[in-house]
Amino acid sequence: MERTGKVFNIEKFHIHDGEGIRTAVFLKGCHLQCPWCSNPESQKTGNEIVVFDNLCTACLRCENLCPQKAIYHIENRIRTNTTLCNFCGKCVEMCPTSARQIYGEDMTVAEVIREVMEDEIYYARSGGGVTVTGGEPLLQAEFVQELIAACRSEYLSVAVETCGIVSWDKMWMGLENADEILLDIKTTDPQKTVVIMPNGSDDYIGVLRNNIRKLRQKDKNVIFRCPIIPGFNDTKSHVMSVVIWAKEFDVQRIDLLPFHQFGRHKHRALGLGYVMEDKKQLQNEDMENLKSLIERADLTCIVGG
Ligand SMILES: C[S@@+](CC[C@H](N)C(=O)[O-])C[C@H]1O[C@@H](n2cnc3c(N)ncnc32)[C@H](O)[C@@H]1O
Ligand code: SF4
Ligand code: SF4
Ligand code: SF4
């Protein structure tokens, strides 16, 4: 049987996360739980169904239609019994306000490539390609390996975004043929890793450093990316420690990603809560100061990636 990957989104005309016009393929499942994550729907491995209360008009169409009788309401708030739901998608299709969403679909590499190739004309013109992201894409390293091989046979370049916290075997399987590796350095401080891996971060920093070292020994093109998260790592000392790592591993570029709150409605709809509500991204001037720390070390820095 053909291998499938668990995909939760394919986004066209993506202009970040690699050169040119890109199609981003989002793979579901992540073993980290960054409280600020812009894609919290990526974290669980299995399918999920959500209702955005702010969009729901409580028309009850979905409740009346569900073949599994999985939908019910409590005081005009629509809820889904996920043990009864078989993710048929009927309620999502007919919801007049797009308040219902299913996250997660099993797709073959051929199915993903078919969608990707709909925009073939733009990649060549813009120097773009495909970005594989998530969730943590390298948890599905075999699928990523096959997807990259299929992209290469269509002459498409591939960037992969990763947190870098997987075994070396998975890392290499997924990244050996990637053109660009966007490696997130969320922290260099072992004391802080519990914030992003509350269930046990073991040797987060050791695993990350070891993977970077091996990628560089194999001459892979690595770009460090630092999401700048208020109250967690928005300091000069954090950026300086990333600069020191870049020098140590001969990495030439560190991008800075300003904190945003695009994921906040999804956190709520998934019942995860959102602890970043009152956090504000750095002022432009402060971001520029962090950028200049990197540039003064003769490294390239793009804000926004
Ligand atoms: C959602 S992650 C998926 C890839 C991989 N799991 C990782 O963390 O690198 C993609 C990128 O979004 C960034 N990101 C996530 N939430 C963010 C937020 N609230 N503000 C800015 N960047 C964010 C991550 O740091 C990462 O560079
Ligand atoms: S169909 Fe959509 S708007 Fe109507 S009750 Fe269901 S979720 Fe709400
Ligand atoms: S996806 Fe299908 S089974 Fe699940 S709640 Fe919607 S209509 Fe019911
Ligand atoms: S590692 Fe990436 S996908 Fe996973 S929780 Fe953190 S930002 Fe989200």
Quote the pLDDT of residue 273. 85
Name which residue sits closest to atom 2 of ligand 4, judged by CA.
135
How far is the CA of 98 from the CAs of 48, 52, 217, 261, in angstroms? 15, 8, 48, 21
Q: How does residue 26 score in pLDDT terms, banded at 50, 70 and 90? A: very high
Lowest model confidence (mean pLDDT) among 103-112, 117-126, 151-160, 188-197:
117-126
Question: Which ligand has the minimum distance to the alpha carbon of residue 90?
Answer: 3
How far is the CA of 192 from the CAs of 156, 195, 229, 233, in angstroms? 38, 6, 12, 9
Domains of the chain: 4-45+105-303 (3.20.20.70), 48-103 (3.30.70.20)
Q: What is the mean pLDDT of the chain?
A: 95
pTM: 0.95
Please compute the mean of the pLDDT values over residues 82-88 and round it to a whole number.
94
* Residue to mutate, 61, 80, 90, 98, ligand 2, most ligand atoms under 8 Å from C-beta: 61
Residue 198, pLDDT > 90, answer no
Say if ligand 4 is within 6 A of residue 136 CB: yes
Quote the pLDDT of residue 189. 96
**Contact indicator for 301, 295 with CB cutoff of 8 Å:** yes
Name which residue sits closest to atom 6 of ligand 2, judged by CA.
62
Residue 237, pLDDT > 90, answer yes
ipTM of the complex: 0.96
Quote the pLDDT of residue 15. 76
Lowest model confidence (mean pLDDT) among 10-24, 56-70, 217-231:
10-24
Residue 5, pLDDT > 90, answer yes
- 105 CA to middle of ligand 2, Å? 22
- 37 CA to middle of ligand 1, Å? 6
Pocket of ligand 3 (CB under 6 A): 49, 66, 68, 70-71, 80, 85-91
The single-letter code of the amino acid at 200 is G
Please compute the mean of the pLDDT values over residues 211-223 and round it to a whole number.
97
Question: Which ligand has the minimum distance to the alpha carbon of residue 261?
Answer: 1
- 70 CA to middle of ligand 1, Å? 33
Q: How does residue 125 score in pLDDT terms, banded at 50, 70 and 90? A: confident
Name which residue sits closest to atom 3 of ligand 3, judged by CA.
85
- 49 CA to middle of ligand 3, Å? 8
Residue 40, pLDDT > 90, answer yes
Name which residue sits closest to atom 1 of ligand 2, judged by CA.
95
Please compute the mean of the pLDDT values over residues 227-255 and round it to a whole number.
98
**Contact indicator for 110, 70 with CB cutoff of 8 Å:** no
- 36 CA to middle of ligand 3, Å? 29
Q: How does residue 245 score in pLDDT terms, banded at 50, 70 and 90? A: very high
Residue 305, pLDDT > 80, answer no
Q: How does residue 108 score in pLDDT terms, banded at 50, 70 and 90? A: very high
- 3 CA to middle of ligand 1, Å? 27
Residue 139: name the closest of 267, 275, 8 by CA: 8
